[in-house]
Structure 1
C-alpha cells in the first residue's frame, strides 16, 4: 500500500515486523490494543510518542493485509 508513510520494515527492528516510524512499536501491538477495547486517546496516553495518525495507519495496514490473497504457485510436473 503506497500511501502509508508511517509503517516501516527493518529486519533489525522487531525482526522485520511492520512497525510505526521505525520504532519498536508494531502494527500488531496497536491492533491488539484496539481489539482489547482501548481507544486512540488511551493508546496515546500509554505511548505518548505515538499520535492519532500512527494508529490510523496501523489499522489501515492491518485491514489491507487481511484482504490480501495468497495464490499458491502451481507445481510443475516433469
Structure 2
C-alpha cells in the first residue's frame, strides 16, 4: 500500500501538517491514538464524521 495515496499535505488544512487522505485528522493524531493503545474501532468511532476509513489506519503498519 502506497502511503502517498492516503496521506496528504495541504497548506490550508491543519497548518500544513500531514493529514489522512486530505481530511482534517492529522497523522500525528493517529499516532497519538495508537500510542495510547486505542483500538482501531475506537479511532474509527472518534473520527466518524470525517469519513476516516480502516484502510488509512493500516497505512503505517
**TM-score, normalization: structure 2?**
0.82
* Alignment match, 2:43: 43
Gaps of 5+ in 2: none
Partner of 1:44, secondary structure, is: helix
Question: Computing the radius of gyration over CA atoms, which structure comes out larger, 1 or 2?
Answer: 1
Runs of 4+ more than 3 Å apart:
none
**TM-score, normalization: structure 1?**
0.67
* Alignment match, 1:9: 9
Question: For 1:16-43, what per-residue CA distance to the aligned partner results, in whole angstroms no more than 9, with x for missing partners?
Answer: 1110111110000000001001011111
The equivalences for 1:26-65 within 5 A come to: 26-48=26-48, 49-57=51-59, 59-60=60-61
Aligned length: 58
